[in-house]
């Protein structure tokens, strides 16, 4: 079955870059998503990438997709304290299936 | 634009009581999802609906859990009787998708209901 794996914790200093990694098992994934969850809130869509793309950039966010290795990463440039949150990777595959989420990576930004 | 609206935001009740969680999806969305989030198990999909019809309820933990979607703008998740191990944050999400989300349209989440069963 489908599986999405992420490391659970990441700690970075304010101003540094953060890189959050994700691996998935289903090679038929069509879209891959990054969601952000701040304390006490729901998941908020940050960005997504179509499976035929290698990279997508959106302001401080860069998404890299290595389809051969089934590896997705989210780079946050100039990380700020407001970026402290849990980041979820998710994939969707063709057909009548909902998103498959990873367990989330808790990013802590140290001032 | 109104997002996904969940109520109540917090619920504290004693074990054995019935609990009803409510969700209003984004207008125009045709898929609705119920999730449970705990520290131990992360985010779990409980059930999802497409065009008000339950498509997959294999994530519902036990017969004590039931979900309904009587119309396109309202869904409930009921736990009866509730137990302390049901304590979690319950999220509702909606999207525009064919047959359960198989498109590039992402899911939009509500802010969740934090449920504590004493």
User: Each residue of B1-37: pLDDT tens digit?
Assistant: 689 999 999 999 999 999 999 999 999 999 999 999 9
User: Given pLDDT bands bounded at 50, 70 and 90, which one contains residue B41?
Assistant: confident
- Mean pLDDT value of segment B74-103: 86
CA distance A105 to chain B (A): 11
| Residue from A9, A22, A33, A18 nearest A81 by CA | A18
**Predicted pLDDT of residue B99:** 47
**Predicted pLDDT of residue A31:** 86
**Predicted pLDDT of residue B2:** 82
As a whole number of angstroms, the distance between CA A65 and CA A38 comes to: 24
The H-or-E segment that residue A106 falls in is: strand A105-110
User: Given pLDDT bands bounded at 50, 70 and 90, which one contains residue B100?
Assistant: very low
**Predicted pLDDT of residue B39:** 86
CA distance B61 to chain A (A): 18
**Predicted pLDDT of residue A1:** 55
Cis peptide before B8 (omega within 30 of 0): yes
**Predicted pLDDT of residue B102:** 47
- A96, B100: Cβ pair inside 8 Å? yes
* Beta strand spans in A4-97 (E): 4-6, 9-13, 18-24, 31-37, 43-50, 55-58, 61-66, 71-76, 85-92
**Predicted pLDDT of residue B104:** 61
Q: B86 in helix, strand or coil?
A: helix
- B109, A101: Cβ pair inside 8 Å? no
As a whole number of angstroms, the distance between CA B94 and CA B110 comes to: 9
Question: What does pLDDT average to over chain B?
Answer: 91
**Predicted pLDDT of residue B117:** 97
Chain B positions with Cβ closer than 8 Å to A: 4, 31, 33, 42-43, 45, 48, 50, 55-56, 91, 93, 97-104, 106-112
Q: Please list, in sequence order, all residues whose beta carbon lies within 8 angstroms of the beta carbon of residue B104, skipping any fewer than 6 positions away.
A: A30, A31, A48, A50, A92
- Mean pLDDT value of segment B73-98: 93
**Predicted pLDDT of residue A109:** 97
What tens-digit pLDDT sequence spans chain A (111 residues)?
568 999 999 999 999 999 999 999 888 878 899 999 998 889 999 999 988 899 999 999 999 999 999 999 999 999 999 999 999 999 887 765 678 889 999 999 998
């Amino acid at each position: 079955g489908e599986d999405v794996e992420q490391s659970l914790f990441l700690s970075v200093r304010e101003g540094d870059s953060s890189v959050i990694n994700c691996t998935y098992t289903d090679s038929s994934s069509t879209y891959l998503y990054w969601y952000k969850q701040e304390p006490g809130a729901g998941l908020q869509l940050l960005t997504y990438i179509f499976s035929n793309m290698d990279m997508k950039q959106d302001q401080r966010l860069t998404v890299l997709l290595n389809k051969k290795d089934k590896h997705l990463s989210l780079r946050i440039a100039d990380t700020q304290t407001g970026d402290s949150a849990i980041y979820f990777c998710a994939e969707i595959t063709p057909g009548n299936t909902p998103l498959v989420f990873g367990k989330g990576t808790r990013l802590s930004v140290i001032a | 634009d109104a997002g996904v609206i969940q109520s109540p935001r917090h619920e504290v009740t004693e074990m054995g009581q019935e609990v009803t969680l409510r969700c209003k999806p984004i207008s125009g969305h045709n898929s609705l999802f119920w999730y449970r989030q705990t520290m131990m198990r992360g985010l779990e999909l409980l059930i999802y609906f497409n065009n008000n019809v339950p498509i997959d309820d294999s994530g519902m933990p036990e017969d004590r859990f039931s979900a309904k979607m009587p119309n396109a703008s309202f869904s409930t998740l009921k736990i009866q009787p509730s137990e302390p191990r049901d304590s979690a944050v319950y999220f509702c999400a909606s999207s525009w998708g064919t047959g359960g989300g198989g498109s590039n349209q992402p899911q939009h989440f509500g802010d969740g209901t934090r449920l504590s069963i004493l």
